Amino acid sequence: MWPLALIGVGAGLWWVWQRQAGQGGGTTPAPGASSSTGTDTVLGGIIDELLNTVANNGAGASTDGPMNMDPNLPRGIRNNNPGNIRRSADAWQGLSDTQTDTAFFQFRAPLYGIRALAKILRNYRDLYGLYTVRGIINRWAPPVENNTGAYVNAVAGAMGVSADVPLQWDLGELRALVGAIIKHENGQQPYTASLLDQAIQAAGW
């Protein structure tokens, strides 16, 4: 659970999220071709400070660069970018000051990378009308560079849903969707349900 002080701050920011729904964030497939819809500056320094506090209280914060350089870990986990969001002009919150990976963003803590993933999924629904696993994954991992059919089947199977039935978008289903994408991108999903929930909520869901 977030500290009580953060809950109070979050309540004060809720109306801002509602006014800014659909703004900020990228729509960058991962991995695959990159497409951007603008920078992630909805709440600026206020929410960045909030996320920093959460990250420092259990999400494994780091002052700069990827948190874990163990070469045995998947690239997305090392980069704190488990969705493998490709580098672009998008100014995501929580980016490492030094970006040593030429292809993929690096975040200061996993919370930020998972939040960016969840933010993209929100944009897929709100800006592009994508409501099914098939629609989401076809944009996230387009067939030009991916075995999209296998990706769709893996995510739908992990979630226990039909690939062509519209999602309900409740927190449990979002957690399952985010977790399934992380698992497919990295071959593992090492994050707690609590961290996934915090990141999803920080994305404005």
**What are the tens digits of pLDDT across the range 132-152?**
999 999 999 999 989 999 999
pLDDT at 40: 53
Q: How confident is the model at residue 205 (pLDDT cuts 50, 70, 90)?
A: confident
pLDDT of residue 89: 94
Is pLDDT at 52 greater than 80 in this prediction?
no
Residue 85, pLDDT score: 97
Here the tokens at position 203 are 């994305």
Mean local confidence (pLDDT), 150-156: 98
Any idea which of 64-68, 74-78, 83-87, 143-147 has the lowest mean pLDDT?
64-68
The model's pLDDT over 13-29, given as tens digits with 9 standing for 90+, comes to 443 343 333 333 333 44
What pLDDT score does 20 carry? 37
The pTM (predicted TM-score) of the whole model is 0.72
pLDDT band at 68 (very low <50, low <70, confident <90, very high): low
Predicted confidence at residue 48, as pLDDT, reads 47
The answer on pLDDT for 171 being more than 90 is yes
Please indicate whether residue 32 or residue 183 has the higher confidence score (pLDDT).
Answer: 183
- Over pLDDT 90: what percentage of the chain? 63
- The answer on pLDDT for 54 being more than 60 is no
Per-residue pLDDT tens over the stretch 91-105: 999 999 999 999 999
Percentage above 70 pLDDT, the chain: 67
Secondary structure of the chain in HEC code, one letter for each residue: CCCHHHHHHHHHHHHHHHHHCCCCCCCCCCCCCCCCCCCCCCCHHHHHHHHHHHHHHHHCCCCCCCCCCCCCCCHHHHCCCCCCCECCCCCCCCECCCCCCCCECCECCHHHHHHHHHHHHHHHHHHHCCCCHHHHHHHHCCCCCCCHHHHHHHHHHHHCCCCCCCCCCCHHHHHHHHHHHHHHHHCCCCCCHHHHHHHHHHCCC
Residue 59 has pLDDT above 50, yes or no: no
Average of per-residue pLDDT across 34-41: 42
Q: Tell me, what's the pLDDT at 42?
A: 44
Contact 152, 137 (CB under 8 A): yes
